[in-house]
Amino acid sequence: METLRDKVVVVTGGGGGIGVELGASFGRRGAKVVLADIVPAPLDAAADRLRAQGIDAVAVVTDVTDFDSLCATRDRAIDAFGGVHVICNNAGIGSGAKGAMWEHDLNDWRWSYDVNVFGIINGIKAFVPMLVAQDEGHVVNTSSGNGGFTPMPQAAIYPATKAAVTTITECLWGQLRLAGSKVSASILYPSSTVGGILNTGIWRPGANRPERFRRENDTEPQGNDTLEGFRAHMRSLGVELKDAPLDEIAEMCVEGVLSDTFWITARSAFQDEQLHSRLESQLAATEPSYLLRNSLDALGKRVGE
């Protein structure tokens, strides 16, 4: 896409974190923005923030696990602004699962896949037929280096979902190209050139968890802020964590859409080393020892540097 002026962008997970920053970055380029999220209050506040910057923005309460809800969001965007040109499938959750993966509650898996994977699938099915019919548009799916590149071994569910998002997006790009469509696709790996931790809702697992995905006999409050506990743990190891600038990630995404970049990420030496190590392990059929360099503590030490 050569310009975003007067284009219409829909962002799921738009009520905070990276989502609202995506809306702001697209809006600064002249786009009209539809923010979609499941909780009304922060979603309305996010839209108000964009409108205060002079951005045409509307908020639509959306459940990405419900295909019909995403179709309704698409139709609301058309009613408000006359069409859709970019869909950012950005909504995602952390499972908050406890213990080893063989100890996880099955509903932790089900809920995470329903949001992180089927949320992307529903977004593709709701929006891509329209984009293909108009032969113009772009799809951005938010993945993560945790799974999309190499997984953190302690967190099985989240990286498994993000690995699925990566493969889905690769196949989407390939099918669009094979169809001769002018619609394109990108995958966003939230990352920063200046380092730091991503202070988003991912650190508040269990927030807005539907009753159908409750753990059996679970009395623990949902939506606890696990980031502060992680900060305290890293502080005990002599590492003070800083926050990554989410607006930089959003700007990187917008530039990626304009340049039709598939892998939207801030490259790093560690990332490159892990990718090479994974490929070498696959080619040589060796054990994946590179995973041990990608533990939660190792992550904290890197972002604290």
**What CATH number should be reported for the domain holding residue 217?**
3.40.50.720
DSSP letter at 109 equals H
CA distance 103 to 230: 22
In a domain, 302, yes or no: no
Q: Residue with structure tokens 């809306």?
A: 23
Is 290 within the bounds of a domain? Answer: no
Q: Is residue 279 part of a domain?
A: no
- Let me know if residue 277 belongs to a domain: no
Is 179 a domain residue?
A: yes
The predicted-structure confidence for 168-207, as pLDDT tens digits, reads as follows 999 999 999 999 999 999 999 999 888 777 777 776 776 7
From CA 131, how far away is CA 124, in angstroms rounded? 10
In sequence order, the 6+-apart residues with CB closer than 8 A to the CB of 92 are 13, 115, 116, 119, 142, 144, 161, 202
Residues spanned by the domain of 200 = 8-226+241-268
> What are the tens digits of pLDDT across the range 143-164?
999 999 999 888 899 999 999 9
Decide if 158 is catalytic.
Answer: yes
In a domain, 260, yes or no: yes
Structure-token match 């949902």, residue found: 222
Tell me the C-alpha distance between 260 and 43, whole Å.
Answer: 28
Q: How far apart are CA 83 and CA 64, in angstroms?
A: 19
Give Rg (Cα) of the chain: 19
Side chain identity at 62, as an amino acid letter?
T
* Residue 301: inside a domain: no
Q: Please report whether residue 247 resides in a domain.
A: yes
Structure tokens at 12: 């799921």
pTM for the model stands at 0.92
Name the residue with higher pLDDT: 218 or 120: 120
* Domains: count for the chain: 1
Supply the mean pLDDT for the chain: 91
